[in-house]
Amino acid sequence: MEEVDKIIIESLRNLNCEIDEDIDTLKKFTPDIVVAAISSCLASIDPQINHPKKLPPSMSSRIKFASDLAQQIKDLGFKGDMGYQTILYCNDVDVRRVLMFLLEHLPKESSTLIEEPIGYVPKIIKQIENSLKEDLGRFWLPSEVCDRGFGHCSPIDCVDLIVPSSVEEAALIPPVNLQCSTSQLLPSLLFEGAKVDWKDVEITSTKPLDDDIFVEDIVTTNQNTNEIIDELKQKKDLIIELRADVNANKEILAKLKQQIEEEQQVLETKTNTLKIKHKTLAVLSSEDNKLKLRNLVQKAENRLVELANQWSQVQTPLLQELETLKNSASLEHIETQKDQDRLQRLKQTHKELVADYKDKCLLEQGLIEKCKDLNSKNSRAAYTKRILEIVGNIQKQKKEIQKILLDTRRVQKDINSLTGQVDRSFTLSDELIFYDCKQEETSRRAYKLLAALREECNKILQAVTDMGQAERELRNLEEQLEIEKNKDFRDKLDKVQRDLAEIRKEIEMLEGK
């Protein structure tokens, strides 16, 4: 029963019913807690019922309140004994039965989910239904009061809106909302290109009007406007063409300018070289100058040979040094290579370790979650385990009962055979002695004694069975006594008497008023 109590208390706590932490069985429930539990159950079964979760202070209103609750529980279909006494003078058995009944009737969570329509058409239908419902609940208003009533509904009337794409255009074209009237703005924005000449359609569709002049008027103005529009369109096309021409010409002009600049540069370089050549020719024309130049060339050649010798002297030790340095550099290079290899290997292992660490972390998290899951499922597993144990126990008890039954049957059989034996031996001895008693006086006395003996024996047997019965009755009574003691009727009786006294006092007070 403790398990059941735990389940009940747990479910009650889930219903936001305040139950102290130290209460773990229904035996510890006071009437206040019972009332709180029942009213929170009723509230979640039917949200429209809203009972206070406390008993009222006055005794008579207490009884009224408790009978109300009892009536509602009965209305839900509770079959057992239910009245105000069950709530106010509660015992754990009745309370357990009532609470189990109420918890079974709690609405299932899945049923509270509202289906959301999916898809475009169902959504639209739902919106239509919603707005219809809203509109049906609204007051009727005359159309004069409405802001722009149905009389303003006009057929689609669009114009082509132009959005500027360059600075020059922007200077000429006004913003889109000024390109049309306010009533044309929305259709022009939304139904671009859907231009219908409603005027023509209307004129042809309506029945012939009385004043034909009016029609002609409209037609001519229509034609006029159409002509003007055509003209404007042509001009616009012309402007666009001219603009394109201007642009093309500009490009050609720029190209030509560039070509001129390039050719001027070529000209400058050529004049420069020409000047230099002119000067050298002037110098070379005299003989003296030629001699001087030859000498200079000779000197320069000599100087060159000298410098080459000097250079070879300087170069050899430097080359040797370079060689040695190169050797040492290659050695160092090898070492660094090795170091780098080692570093790379270390990096690799580091990476592996990090990946390993991450894997482990993930595993740990997964395990923690699993552990949590297990914990949450734990109570359920425990309950099933407990139930299985109980079933095992019951089966064991059943076997024992069977054994005891067999035992009692055997005893019964023994008793039956013994009584049969006794009867038979009595009749046998009776016959024997009766046969003898015609001849002998002593036999007659013996027969009498035998009869007396038989009677006494019967009495003893009767007494033994009576005793057995009495013992059984005694045991029954003792059990009943135990049960009654558990219900502690004395306390409850006291409480009832106290409540009765209080009610009497209240009645007196009311009478006094």
Binding site for another protein (CB under 8 A): 126-130, 132-133, 136, 142-144, 147-156, 161, 163-167, 169-171, 173-177, 182-183, 185-187, 189-190, 198-199, 202
Stated as kind and residue range, the H or E segment containing 166 is none
- 91 sits in the region (left: phi over 0; alpha: psi -120 to 50; else beta) called beta
Tell me, letter by letter, the H, E, C secondary structure of 90-134: CCHHHHHHHHHHHHHCCCCHHHHCCCCCCCHHHHHHHHHHHHHHH
Q: How far is the CB of 175 from another protein (least distance, A)?
A: 4
Q: One-letter amino acid identity for 48?
A: Q
Closer residue to another protein, CB minimum distance, 1 or 170:
170
Q: How far is the CB of 218 from another protein (least distance, A)?
A: 9
CB 92 within 8 A of CB 29: yes
Q: Tell me the backbone φ, ψ of residue 269, rounded to 5 degrees.
A: -60, -40
Q: How far is the CB of 202 from another protein (least distance, A)?
A: 6
Closer residue to another protein, CB minimum distance, 48 or 182:
182
For residue 372, give every residue at least 6 positions away whose Cβ sits within 8 Å of its Cβ, in sequence order, or none: none
Structure-token pair, residue 308 = 């080459």
CB 88 within 8 A of CB 31: yes
Closer residue to another protein, CB minimum distance, 163 or 374:
163
Closer residue to another protein, CB minimum distance, 209 or 362:
209
Q: How far is the CB of 498 from another protein (least distance, A)?
A: 52
Q: One-letter amino acid identity for 42?
A: L
Q: How far is the CB of 188 from another protein (least distance, A)?
A: 10
Closer residue to another protein, CB minimum distance, 23 or 203:
203
CB 55 within 8 A of CB 37: no
For residue 457, give every residue at least 6 positions away whose Cβ sits within 8 Å of its Cβ, in sequence order, or none: 422
Structure-token pair, residue 169 = 């255009």
Q: How far is the CB of 50 from another protein (least distance, A)?
A: 23
Closer residue to another protein, CB minimum distance, 169 or 237:
169
Q: How far is the CB of 201 from another protein (least distance, A)?
A: 10
Q: How far is the CB of 126 from another protein (least distance, A)?
A: 6
Closer residue to another protein, CB minimum distance, 77 or 142:
142
Classified as helix, coil or strand, 75 is helix
Q: How far is the CB of 225 from another protein (least distance, A)?
A: 15
CB 166 within 8 A of CB 131: no
Structure-token pair, residue 315 = 């170069």
Closer residue to another protein, CB minimum distance, 76 or 203:
203
Q: What is the rounded distance in angstroms from the CA atom of residue 232 to the CA atom of residue 43?
A: 77
Q: What is the rounded distance in angstroms from the CA atom of residue 33 to the CA atom of residue 39?
A: 10
Q: Tell me the backbone φ, ψ of residue 264, rounded to 5 degrees.
A: -60, -40
Closer residue to another protein, CB minimum distance, 174 or 468:
174
